[in-house]
Amino acid sequence: MSLFQRKVRPLKSPDTRLRDDRLFYVACDDTYAPKQYFNFFEIPRIHVIVVETSDGTSSAGHVLDRLLEQKSSCFEDDELWLLLDTDHYTSGRHIKSFRAAIKKAKQHGVNIALSKPCFELWLLLHHRDEDEVADLVDASGVEARLREVFGEYNKTRLKLEHYPAEQVPDAIRRAARLDKRATGGDIPAGNTSRVYLLWQAIIDKALPSQLPTPLAELKL
């Protein structure tokens, strides 16, 4: 059994939402790659709704504020997730506001999944072991490695065949192992992608019968 490409959903709770549907509102500082990636996967009764950057602002505080606007639409079992890259935002004049956004997110019960240096590291972990990505220093280096893997990479045009369901469990395991090495707490000092925590939450909320076989096996 495999995951199927799904149609892009509107940024709101489904009008036909059933009582036991689970929604994950996800806000990112880079909408392109995360939105396409999560739109590749169809899991019955689980809806991942990516809150898009509509005004061009991508600071952590602005991303969080857009996410918190969705809070009034949430049911008890829905979750809010903040996906942020550390590249460019955890040094110099940006670090203070970045830390403030993390603190505010926790105060509002928002789940946080940082990627150092960028979300693309999560994509790369579908194809490369953690040892092979641990020393990539910036987003440009990660994207260059993706081009080595695929022969191309354009964050505005991800391809479904590059991220099949069968490789998601490996990405989760690799990311979890890599995260154990990352010191620094909320703002990791070493490379990591905590997108695996979002996947684990999705899997936990789903019944085994709802999940494609590769992901259902992670519940065993």
pLDDT digits (tens, 9 = 90+) for 73-100: 888 889 999 999 987 665 667 788 889 9
What's the token pair of residue 216?
């259902």
Category of 151 on φ-ψ map: left (φ > 0), alpha (ψ -120 to 50) or beta: left
Is 54 part of any domain? yes
Cα dihedral 32, 36, 39, 41 sign: negative
Is 11 part of any domain? no
Mutual orientation of helices 60-68 and 95-107 as an angle, nearest 10°? 20
Listing DSSP states for 114-151 in one string gives EEES-THHHHHTTTS-GGGTTT--SHHHHHHHHHHHHS
Is 103 part of any domain? yes
More confident residue, 175 or 96: 175
Contacts for 178 with CB less than 8 Å, ≥ 6 apart: 125, 130, 133, 134, 190, 191, 192, 193
CA distances from 74 to 25, 67, 81, 105, 129 (A): 9, 11, 12, 16, 36
Is 148 part of any domain? yes
Does residue 1 register a pLDDT over 50? no
Is 213 part of any domain? yes
What pLDDT was estimated at residue 220? 67
The whole domain housing 183 covers 22-219
* Whether 51 contacts 27, CB under 8 Å: yes
Write out the H or E segment, with its range, that includes residue 82. Answer: strand 79-85
Confidence grade of residue 9 (pLDDT, cut at 50, 70, 90)? very low
Report the C-alpha gap between 71 and 148 in whole angstroms: 40
Write out the H or E segment, with its range, that includes residue 27. Answer: strand 22-28
What pLDDT was estimated at residue 3? 42
Is 147 part of any domain? yes
Is 64 part of any domain? yes
Torsion of CA 126, 38, 199, 52, to 10 degrees: 120
Domain total in the chain:
1
- Average the pLDDT over 166-184 and give the result: 94
Is 2 part of any domain? no
Q: Which residue is listed with tokens 């990505």?
A: 133
What pLDDT was estimated at residue 35? 92
Write out the H or E segment, with its range, that includes residue 95. Answer: helix 95-107
